[in-house]
Structure 1
Amino acid sequence: AHAGWRGVAAGVLDRTLDAMADLGAEAPTAVLGPCIHAPCYAFGEQDLDEVAAVLGDEVRGTTASGAPALDLPAAVRTALARRQVPLRTEPACTACGAATWYSHRARAEVGRMAHLTWIEP
């Protein structure tokens, strides 16, 4: 599933896991691909309070300049931990990695990334 902060806070990961279970999936694992990280993700206090009310204060971070920030990887990790889903995280920050990754949030760029998923026997 692809989800930004609103989707994670609204439960898109739970709904995705429920749909997978309905299709017979057992013991799913998750991978969080490159995304924007807290040091680069200044976030409004009101929105941050809303996300923290759903997922806990672990989602609160600070930017490199000390402003309030959303820790999106922590939000995903928290949501998946509640369902006991193991998570592998790609450490790349799309905002910091301008040479490699697109970031609409950081640079108003439009670009596409692809992710592959497969079932191992």
Structure 2
Amino acid sequence: MSEGVDVIRSAALGGVPHGFLGRRGGASSGVTAGLDMGRRGAELIGPELAENRRRAVAAVLPGADLRTLWQVHSAEVVTVGAEWNEDARPHADALVTDRPGVLLGILTADCAPVLFADPAAGVVGAAHAGWKGALAGVTDRTIDAMEAIGADRSRIAAAIGPCIARASYEVDDAFLTRFCEADAESDRFFAPGRAGHHRFDLEAYVAARLARAGIGRIEALGLDTYAAPARFYSYRRATHRGEPDYGRQIALIGLPPAERIG
């Protein structure tokens, strides 16, 4: 793709370097053409991934050290310090840090990317909130981990990036039951669908979990990955189309080397 990297920013996160990146502006070709940040699939070989990572960092926080995870749809959170091996990245679904010059990255392809910042404390976080992780409390655990290194939830702002929207997310009765057994009020995140099925609002569910955890400033961007094939990758869309692979976009947040965040 010839156009530049698509960087979507949140007003809630202010001047903290961050961005929800789409598929535009990358080096990958084939069915996952664009800024595919995934690590598997025949369409994305080493040189293409390295170039896509370079472009992503340059678009958000040039010169930063990118840190990502082996995501497993869990509620596990990693605190990023001085020691890190990107080739042996931890199995988890959220990262937090207070280290300047570090850029946290979360990959998604329908799941909700959530970015967090407490600029006063100099602490940021990023979470991969698919339905499993969201239900298990990955956002709650991320807030706890941020507070453990100096943040205060009363100051934390959070933004929910592009993810599959309710209109595109059909689930069955068992899925609805799982959420309602965890919290009887969860039925408000489901709309009626065809017989035995429902439409789940992942974004609204994540926003509600954040609010319940005490986060006062929350921005949901309202961008549907499934419905925008030219802009975003989508696992469900690729599956429905019978495509051999699907791409992953990245959400990034970090602290600049300088102490001050504008």
Q: Shared fold by TM > 0.5?
A: yes
Aligned to 1:2: 128
Give CA-to-partner distance per residue, 1:35-91, whole Å, 9 cap, x none. Answer: 00111100011112212333522221245x784111101110111110121211111
Letter in 2 for 1:48: L
Give CA-to-partner distance per residue, 1:94-115, whole Å, 9 cap, x none. Answer: 0101110000022235212122
Q: Distance in 2 between matches of 1:113 and 1:92?
A: 13
1:40 lines up with 2:174 in the alignment: no
1:88 to 202, 216, 219: 219
Aligned to 1:24: 150
Q: Distance in 2 between matches of 1:62 and 1:4?
A: 21
SS in structure 2 of the partner of residue 68 of structure 1: strand
Q: Distance in 2 between matches of 1:41 and 1:107?
A: 14
Q: Distance in 2 between matches of 1:79 and 1:17?
A: 11
Which runs of 5 or more structure 2 residues have no equivalent in the other structure?
1-126, 240-244, 256-260
Instruction: Write 1 or 2 for the structure with the bigger share of helix.
Output: 1
In 1, are the aligned partners of 2:159 and 2:219 still within 8 Å (CA)?
yes
Aligned to 1:74: 204
In 1, are the aligned partners of 2:176 and 2:187 still within 8 Å (CA)?
no
- Structure number with larger C-alpha Rg: 2
In 2, are the aligned partners of 1:3 and 1:12 still within 8 Å (CA)?
yes
Percent identity between matched residues is 33
Aligned to 1:52: 180
SS in structure 1 of the partner of residue 204 of structure 2: helix
TM-score, normalisation: structure 2: 0.42
In 2, are the aligned partners of 1:48 and 1:69 still within 8 Å (CA)?
no
In 1, are the aligned partners of 2:167 and 2:199 still within 8 Å (CA)?
yes
Q: Distance in 2 between matches of 1:73 and 1:110?
A: 21
Instruction: Write 1 or 2 for the structure with the bigger share of strand.
Output: 2
Which runs of 5 or more structure 1 residues have no equivalent in the other structure?
none
Q: How many residues align?
A: 120
TM-score, normalisation: structure 1: 0.87
Aligned to 2:229: 98
Q: Distance in 1 between matches of 2:156 and 2:169?
A: 29
